[in-house]
Amino acid sequence: MISKTTSSIPDAANILGKGGLVAFPTETVYGLGADARCESAIQRIFLVKERPMQHPLIVHIGRKEEVETWAEEIPPAAWQLMDRFWPGPLTVLLKKKASVSVLLTGGQPTVGLRMPNHPIALSLLKSFGRGVAGPSANKFTKVSPTTSAAVWDELGKDIDLILEGDACQVGLESTIIDLSQFPYKILRPGHITPSDIKACLNCEIDYGTSGKVLVPGMHKIHYAPNTHTTLIDPSEVKVLVDRAIQSHSPVCFLLLDPLEYKSNATITWQYMPRHPENYARALYRTLRQLDQQGYSHIFIQTPPQGEVWQAIHDRLIKSSAPR
């Protein structure tokens, strides 16, 4: 039975106003919200998530006019992207104003801003009327929650309220683009692809996580279930099956292509959707479910190449990184 949940926007905004922590749904994943101007609330986010302080938080806003209260020297490209993709799963990094706390930005000279495309998140942001710091509502390096039940399992006892919503439609975190220097650089792939951005800006963009900027890619392991996961090619399945049967260790294969094998006490087969949007929507929910099953290992078929699978590859590679 889930307690500490509400569907009341005024109650949630009220708790934010008192420096409390409120988890809220967005179209990507659930966020862990706090008043972005309240340093004690920001500190509590880092404590609850067990996240190192140098990892900046994204500020969520409900109106484009608020951009200028957080950022300065905003290039025209930023307005073009915000006009095209907001509200939506795109976070822009812009030069921060001097008044923005370095606690929020992890000491970076930039601030991340995003307007989520979710009616509950937008109502909360408009009702609160100010920026809401919102990392994903999970412990550091773990799988982001895409349902309110997952937030409850992950952080329920440590936070003040969970604003309830449906399962997240996108299912993976927003695309992050650094617009504070040229060439602009995508730091985290997401639903909005490099081609989408190039088509909007009509210029080349870089891709990568190098440099001083701290993004999840700087850590080898991220988005990880507790059960060890490995990315595999279907040609490896037979050897892995034989090995699991010999060692009597229960394993799960998370596949795209049906195989001729039958399930038995040791081996479980589970299939992911073949469409990348559906795959993304299902991924974290599936990893959380499988994490409850006591498998010694989850083997995940490497998805196809191509830009529309890029964000999925990124998350799978990081969740399967050596520990």
108 binds ligand TXA (CB under 6 A): yes
Q: How far apart are CA 36 and CA 231, in angstroms?
A: 38
User: Footprint of Mg ion on this chain (CB under 5 A)?
Assistant: 136
105 binds ligand TXA (CB under 6 A): yes
Cβ burial of 203 (10 Å; 0-12, 13-18, 19+) is exposed
The site partner of 108 among Mg ion, ligand TXA, none (C-beta below 5 to 8 Å per kind) is ligand TXA
176 binds ligand TXA (CB under 6 A): yes
DSSP 292: T
Q: How far apart are CA 191 and CA 278, in angstroms?
A: 11
Alpha-carbon 294 to chain mean position: 25
Only one of the segments 67-75, 148-156, 209-217, 236-244 lies at the binding site for ligand TXA (rule: CB under 6 A); that segment is: 209-217
- Applying CB under 6 A, which of residues 34, 42, 48, 58 lies at the interface with ligand TXA? 58
- Applying CB under 6 A, which of residues 16, 22, 28, 151 lies at the interface with ligand TXA? 28
The site partner of 111 among ligand TXA, Mg ion, none (C-beta below 5 to 8 Å per kind) is ligand TXA
In this structure, what are the phi and psi dihedrals at residue 156, rounded to the nearest 5 degrees? Answer: -45, -45
DSSP 95: E
Only one of the segments 86-94, 193-201, 300-308, 310-318 lies at the binding site for ligand TXA (rule: CB under 6 A); that segment is: 86-94
CB of 286 to ligand TXA, least distance (A): 18
CB 251 within 8 A of CB 244: yes
Residues between 212 and 231 with contacts to ligand TXA, criterion CB under 6 A: 213-216
Q: How far apart are CA 244 and CA 104, in angstroms?
A: 46
- Closest to Mg ion by CB, 136 vs 146, is 136
The site partner of 28 among Mg ion, ligand TXA, none (C-beta below 5 to 8 Å per kind) is ligand TXA
Helix (H, G, I), strand (E, B) or coil at 71: strand
Strand-pair partners of 218: none
The CB-nearest residue to Mg ion is 136
Nearest to 120 by CA among 162, 89, 163: 163
Nearest to 177 by CA among 277, 58, 90: 90
319 binds ligand TXA (CB under 6 A): no
- Closest to Mg ion by CB, 190 vs 276, is 190
CA 223 to each of CA 227, 228, 249, 262: distance values in angstroms, whole numbers, following the listed order: 12, 12, 24, 30
- Applying CB under 6 A, which of residues 9, 71, 110, 310 lies at the interface with ligand TXA? 110
- Applying CB under 6 A, which of residues 13, 70, 131, 136 lies at the interface with ligand TXA? 136
Binding positions for ligand TXA, rule: CB under 6 A: 26, 28-29, 31, 55-58, 89, 91, 93, 105, 108, 110-112, 114, 116, 134-136, 173-174, 176, 213-216
